[in-house]
């Protein structure tokens, strides 16, 4: 069972406020756009500037640690905690880290530099905030005044929502540092980092041209860990390797972010991305791309958005244009007017940036996302529990009572009938015998309706890594949503020795997933997405269930089924439950053993991929009763 340590999150004020605390629950990487480690280009001769776009004029692999392996001079450390910067080969250490988390940079095998703040604060009760700088040698960049800095890093921090990691640039040999880049918000496409989150090894690029214009002959840059700037940065680590300065290309467009909708600030829930939209909540999507010109020339940027359905057919293909000056700050293009059709399907969205001349660094010109449309399901999660790794892929609050879930925007009036959740298996996660329920809250986080308690009676109900075993919890009374308002669906655990852990799937837009910690009576924002969904299907209501001998069987949804379908059922008394699926000839084509289930409402998810298209019947057997319903399978 995990230690109970709270994290600070992006906060808002609701009835006493959301507070900043620390947690051991680490948010997860985005799944749509993965970080890519770019191979470094070593210069032909270290320390010898070369004329030509894309050429490396400074390169450091830290094979000699602070002594340098760059052909110029040694590195230095500075600041009150500069000595925390150290040459390393085995990765971070300490009570929150393991050596296996070492950077996987191009040349990590010959060593790298690390600010191992967790090791410095290992086992601390009151952890010390740390300020330390890794400072480059002085460089004469007058032969290449149009250039950018690139390096590979692995970074995780705690315990403030605001990062304390920067690259500073000086043009007076390090006397003053007038230019600052913030690491965590200047990442690859859609890969900005949040507190406690690890997205693995990735490449950073910063345009130095404006920063060194005052005097390119006397340049230094430094990697700045300033815990006190954010007020509470104490651990985990910051690892740096394969540092380069590269002469800029004439044209070099960087796609900074690509969004399914044009939200820009926290709280704009009506424009937040979801991974599954139900028919009743479909809305116009306004795709946005944000760009920066690393190049030495102005250029027109074309931003193309292509949406393809599951059959590979393009159903939306539009391009917008923006003019970017040389070495420009960020600008955006918004493409609007696309409303997904009200039919069940999966969609892939490809974002592509191009310009009026060849791009010298095309690796960061594309991004991809996906979403689905479903008759009844509204979801923010990515569909499967995150795989195991350093990041925790479940939340359990160390056995203490909590609620966790997601905010849902009501684009139109609709009725919610159920909440779906996944609870996690594994050591320290959900226990057989544990109980929980779900609740629907209004936009003030006040109670609207709850479900009956659900008891975990079998490990087959628990969700492992890369799985999605949904438990459908019927609301005691359906709830009508008002258009233009937001609602929050949460899984609630009552605390105690029978632990419950909410499964995690992907990363939420900041401000759209919430945790309520009962012992502190406090709401927190979290960035990892709980597997908690809304269900708008009226067929799962108790009135639509066929009943016999205290056993009820509902119609599967969706029906027709494509890929998966959910079968609801309920029991007046605990019973052993089995399902059989048979074709029109009566041949049994699938059997499912649910084991012994507690009294109450349940559901089973059926994978129909192994069935051919056609009509089938499913039969529930429990307590001597057999109930059968019909379902259709489509491709």
The pLDDT assigned to 262 comes to 67
Asked if residue 84 and residue 233 are part of one domain, the reply reads yes
Query: Of 535, 560, 591, at which residue does a domain stop?
Result: 535
* β-sheet bridge partners, residue 631: 616
Of 45-59, 75-89, 265-279, highest mean pLDDT = 75-89
Across the range 444-465, mean pLDDT stands at 88
The residue ranges of DSSP E strands in 190-298, in sequence order, are: 202-207, 220-226, 235-247, 253-259, 276-278, 285-293
Mean pLDDT of 418-444: 90
Tokens of 168: 């500073």
Give the lowest-confidence range in 127-131, 209-213, 579-583. 127-131
Q: What are phi and psi of 110, to 5 degrees?
A: -100, 10
With 0-12 / 13-18 / 19 or more C-beta atoms within 10 angstroms meaning exposed / middle / buried, residue 273 is middle
pLDDT digits (tens, 9 = 90+) for 139-187: 999 999 999 999 999 988 877 767 789 999 999 999 999 999 988 765 4
| Residue of 247 and 477 predicted with greater confidence | 247
45-64 average pLDDT score: 76
Are 222 and 336 contained in the same domain?
Answer: no
CATH number at residue 570: 2.60.40.3080
Q: Please determine, for residue 449, whether its predicted confidence score (pLDDT) is greater than 70.
A: yes
Q: Are residues 328 and 400 in the same domain?
A: no
Identify the pLDDT of residue 437: 93
CATH of residue 299: 2.60.40.10
- In this structure, of 28-32, 130-134, 146-150, 560-564, the range with the lowest mean pLDDT score is 28-32
Query: What pLDDT is attached to residue 134?
Result: 98
Residues 104 and 215 in one domain: yes
Give me the pLDDT at residue 89, please: 93
Q: Is residue 81 part of a domain?
A: yes
* Bigger pLDDT: 628 vs 14: 628
Q: What is the mean pLDDT of residues 600-626?
A: 89
Confidence band for 580, pLDDT divided at 50, 70 and 90 = very high
Question: What is the per-residue pLDDT for 268?
Answer: 54
In-domain check, residue 420: yes
In this structure, are 513 and 628 located in the same domain? Answer: no
Instruction: Indicate the pLDDT class of residue 4, thresholds 50, 70 and 90.
Output: very low
- Both 151 and 216 in one domain: the answer is yes
Same-domain pairing of 152 and 240: yes
Same domain for 340 and 426 = no
- CATH number of the domain at 158, please: 2.60.120.200
Output the pLDDT for position 389: 45
pLDDT digits (tens, 9 = 90+) for 232-266: 677 789 999 999 999 999 999 988 888 888 655 43
Look up residue 229 and give its DSSP letter. H
**Percentage of residues in the chain having pLDDT higher than 70:** 85
> What does DSSP say about strands 276-278 and 366-374: parallel, antiparallel, or unpaired?
parallel
65 three-class SS = helix
Does 626 lie in the same domain as 522?
no
Q: How far apart are CA 447 and CA 444, in angstroms?
A: 9
- CA separation for the pair 4, 386 (Å, rounded): 20
The edge-to-edge listing of strands for the beta sheet with 179-182 is 76-78, 131-135, 220-226, 165-170, 179-182
Residue 544 has pLDDT above 90, yes or no: no
Classify residue 343 as exposed, middle or buried by CB count within 10 Å of its CB (0-12, 13-18, 19+). exposed
Q: What is the tens place of the pLDDT at every residue in 342-360? A: 999 999 999 999 998 888 8
Q: For the segment 490-536, what is each residue's pLDDT rounded down to a tens digit?
A: 999 998 888 999 999 988 877 788 999 888 898 987 778 999 999 99
Q: Is residue 344 in a domain?
A: yes
The dihedral built from the CA positions of residue 191, 192, 194 and 199, taken in this order, carries a sign that is positive
Judge if the upstream peptide bond of residue 467 is cis by omega within 30 degrees of 0.
Answer: no
Would you state the pLDDT for residue 310?
94
Full residue range of the structural domain in which residue 502 is found:
382-535
Higher pLDDT: 540 or 144? It is 144
435 found inside a domain: yes
Q: Same domain for 496 and 565?
A: no
Helix H, strand E, coil C: the string for 273-329 is CCCEEEHHHCCCEEEEEEEEECCCCCEEEEEEEEEECCCCCEEEEEEEEEEECCCEE
219 has pLDDT over 90: yes
Final residue before a domain boundary, out of 518, 535, 552: 535
How many domains, in total, are found in the chain? 4
| Per-residue confidence (pLDDT) for residue 453, from 0 to 100 | 85
Q: Identify whether residues 286 and 344 lie together within a single domain.
A: yes
- The answer to pTM > 0.75 is no
Domain match, 512 and 606 both = no
Q: For the residues 590-604, what does the mean pLDDT come to?
A: 87
* pLDDT tens per residue, range 270-318: 678 899 999 999 999 989 898 888 888 999 999 999 999 999 999 999 9
């Amino acid at each position: 069972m995990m230690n109970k340590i709270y994290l600070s999150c992006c906060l808002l004020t609701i009835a006493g406020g959301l507070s900043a605390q620390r947690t051991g629950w680490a948010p997860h990487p985005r799944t749509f756009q993965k970080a890519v480690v770019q191979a470094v280009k070593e210069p032909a001769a270290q320390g010898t500037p070369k004329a030509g776009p894309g050429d490396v004029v400074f390169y450091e692999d830290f094979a000699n640690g602070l002594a340098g392996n760059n052909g110029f001079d040694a590195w230095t450390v500075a600041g009150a905690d500069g000595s925390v910067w150290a040459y390393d080969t085995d990765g971070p250490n300490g009570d929150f880290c393991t050596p296996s988390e070492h950077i996987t940079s191009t040349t990590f095998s010959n060593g790298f530099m690390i600010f191992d703040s967790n090791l410095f604060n290992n086992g601390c009760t009151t952890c010390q905030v740390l300020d330390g700088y890794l400072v480059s040698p002085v460089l004469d960049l007058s032969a290449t005044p149009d250039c950018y800095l690139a390096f590979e890093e692995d970074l995780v921090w705690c315990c403030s929502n605001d990062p304390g990691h920067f690259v500073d640039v000086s043009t007076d040999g390090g006397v003053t540092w007038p230019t600052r880049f913030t690491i965590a918000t200047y990442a690859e496409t859609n890969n900005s980092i949040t507190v406690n989150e690890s997205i693995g090894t990735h490449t950073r690029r910063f345009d130095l041209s404006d920063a060194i214009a005052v005097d390119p002959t006397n340049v230094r840059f430094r990697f700045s860990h300033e815990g006190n700037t954010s007020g509470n940065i104490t651990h985990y680590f910051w690892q740096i390797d394969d540092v380069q300065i590269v002469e800029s290309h004439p044209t070099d467009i960087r796609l900074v972010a690509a969004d399914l909708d044009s939200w820009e600030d926290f709280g704009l829930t009506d424009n937040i991305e979801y991974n599954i939209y139900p028919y009743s909540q479909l809305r116009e999507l306004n795709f946005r791309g944000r760009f920066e010109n690393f190049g030495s020339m102005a250029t027109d940027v074309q931003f193309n958005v292509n949406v393809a359905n599951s059959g590979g057919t393009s159903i939306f293909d539009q391009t917008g244009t923006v003019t970017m000056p040389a070495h420009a700050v960020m600008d955006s293009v918004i493409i609007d007017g696309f409303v997904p059709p009200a039919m069940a399907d999966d969609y892939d969205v490809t974002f592509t940036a191009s310009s009026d001349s060849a791009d010298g660094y095309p690796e960061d010109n594309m991004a991809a996302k996906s979403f689905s449309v479903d008759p009844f399901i509204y979801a923010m999660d990515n569909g499967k529990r995150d795989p195991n790794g350093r990041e925790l892929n479940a939340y359990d609050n160390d056995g203490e009572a909590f609620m966790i879930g997601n905010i849902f925007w009501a684009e139109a009036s609709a009725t919610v009938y159920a909440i779906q959740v996944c609870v996690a298996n594994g050591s320290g996660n959900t226990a057989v015998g544990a109980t929980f329920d779900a609740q629907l809250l209004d936009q003030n986080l006040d109670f609207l309706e709850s479900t009956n308690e659900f008891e975990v009676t079998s490990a087959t109900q628990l969700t492992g890594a890369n799985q999605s075993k949904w438990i459908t919890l019927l609301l005691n009374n359906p709830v009508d949503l008002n258009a233009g308002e937001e609602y929050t669906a949460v899984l609630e655990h009552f605390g105690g020795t029978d632990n419950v852990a909410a499964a995690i799937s992907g990363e939420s837009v900041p401000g759209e997933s919430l945790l309520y910690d009962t012992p502190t009576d406090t709401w927190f924002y979290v960035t990892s997405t709980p597997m908690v969904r809304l269900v708008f299907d009226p067929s799962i209501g108790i009135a639509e269930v066929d009943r016999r001998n205290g056993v009820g069987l509902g119609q599967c949804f969706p029906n027709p089924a494509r890929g998966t379908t959910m079968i609801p059922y309920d029991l007046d008394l605990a019973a052993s439950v089995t399902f059989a699926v048979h074709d029109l000839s009566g041949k049994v084509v699938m059997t499912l053993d649910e084991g012994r289930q507690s009294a109450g409402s349940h559901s089973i998810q059926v994978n129909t991929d192994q069935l051919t298209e056609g009509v089938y019947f499913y039969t529930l057997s429990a307590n001597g009763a057999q109930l059968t319903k019909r379902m259709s399978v489509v491709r």
